[in-house]
Amino acid sequence: PGVAWEQGVLLRAAHLSLPRLIDSFTEDGFTYLVEEVPTGTRLWEAWDGEGVTNRVRFAWLVQLAEALERLHSAGAILECLRPEMVVVSPAGSCILADLAGLLPLPLPGEVPLRGDFSTAPELLLKPAEVDARADQYAFGALLYALLMGRELSDLDFTMTGMPKPYLERVPDTNPFLARLMSKTFIRDPEQRFPTLDGAQVDPTGFRELIAALHACRRNLDRVKLDAAAWSTVGMVRYGNEDAVEVHHVSEGRLDDSDEAALILLADGMGGMESGEVAASMTLETLRQCLFAGPPFARSLPATPVVDHQLPSPEPAKPAADEGDESAPPLPVPAPVATDTESPERTADAHAERVRAALVEANRRVAEAAQAHPGTRGMGCTAEVVLIDGGTAVLGHVGDSRVYRMRRGKLSQVTRDHTVVARLVELGQLTEAEGETHPRRSELQQAIGGRPDLYPDVYSVALEPGDWLLVCSDGLSNQVPANTIQGVLREARNAEQAARRLVNVALAEWALDNVTVAVVRVS
DSSP 266-306: EEEESSHHHHHHHHHHHHHHHHHHHHTSTTTTTTSPPPPPP
Q: pLDDT tens across 477-488, in order?
A: 999 999 999 999
- List CB contacts of 399: < 8 A, sequence separation 6 or more: 267, 381, 416, 417, 418, 421, 441, 443, 473
Instruction: Give the sheet arrangement for strand 225-232, strand by strand.
Output: 225-232, 514-521, 467-471, 401-406, 409-412
User: How many Å apart are CA 327 and CA 69, to the nearest integer?
Assistant: 52
What's the pLDDT tens digit per position in 144-167?
999 999 999 999 999 998 999 999
**Residues 9, 21: Cα–Cα separation, whole Å:** 10
Q: How many Å apart are CA 191 and CA 122, to the nearest integer?
A: 13
* Alpha carbons 356 and 142: distance in angstroms, whole number: 47
Residue 307 has pLDDT above 70, yes or no: no
pTM for this one? 0.82
Burial class (CB in 10 A: 0-12, 13-18, 19+), 29: exposed
CA dihedral 280, 286, 292, 296 (to 10 degrees): -90
Please give the Cα distance from 284 to 384 (Å, whole number): 12
pLDDT, greater one: 32 or 324: 32
Mean pLDDT for the chain overall: 90
Residue 305's pLDDT is 42
Residue 125 Rama label (left phi>0; alpha psi -120 to 50; beta): alpha
Domain 3-219: state its class.
mainly alpha
φ, ψ for residue 96 (rounded to 5)?
Answer: -80, 105
Q: Is 417 helix (H, G, I), strand (E, B) or coil?
A: coil
Cβ pair 18, 67 in contact under 8 A: yes
- Mean pLDDT check: name the lowest of 170-179, 242-251, 323-332: 323-332
Q: Residues 365-421: pLDDT tens digits?
A: 999 998 887 777 899 999 999 999 899 999 999 999 999 999 999 999 999 999 888
- Residues 419, 424, 428, CA angle at the centre, nearest 5°? 100
When mean pLDDT is compared across 69-73, 301-305, 452-456, the lowest value belongs to 301-305
CA angle 361, 363, 365 (to 5 degrees): 70
What whole-number distance in Å separates Cα of residue 469 and Cα of residue 279?
Answer: 19
pLDDT at 332 over 60: no
Distance between CA 199 and CA 193 in Å, rounded? 8
46-100 pLDDT per residue, tens? 999 998 999 999 999 999 999 999 999 999 999 999 999 999 999 999 999 999 8
Top-ranked range on mean pLDDT: pick from 293-297, 307-311, 317-321, 369-373? 293-297
pLDDT(338) > 70: no
Q: What CATH number labels 225-309+322-521? A: 3.60.40.10
Instruction: Provide the pLDDT for residue 23.
Output: 93
C-alpha–C-alpha distance, residues 189 and 171, integer Å: 23
- CATH 1.10.510.10 spans which residues of the chain? 3-219
Question: Rounded CA gap, 429 and 412, in Å?
Answer: 18
Residue spans in the chain of domains classed CATH 3.60.40.10: 225-309+322-521
Average pLDDT over every residue of 35-40: 93
Of the pLDDT bands very low, low, confident and very high (cuts 50, 70, 90), residue 434 is: confident
pLDDT at 235 (0 to 100)? 97
Element (H, E) at 380: strand 379-380
pLDDT at 428: 84
Share above pLDDT 70 across residues of the chain, in percent, rounded to a whole number = 92
Are 414 and 421 a contacting pair, CB within 8 Å? no
**Dihedrals phi, psi of 49, to nearest 5 degrees:** -65, 155
Read off φ and ψ for residue 397, nearest 5 degrees.
-140, 125
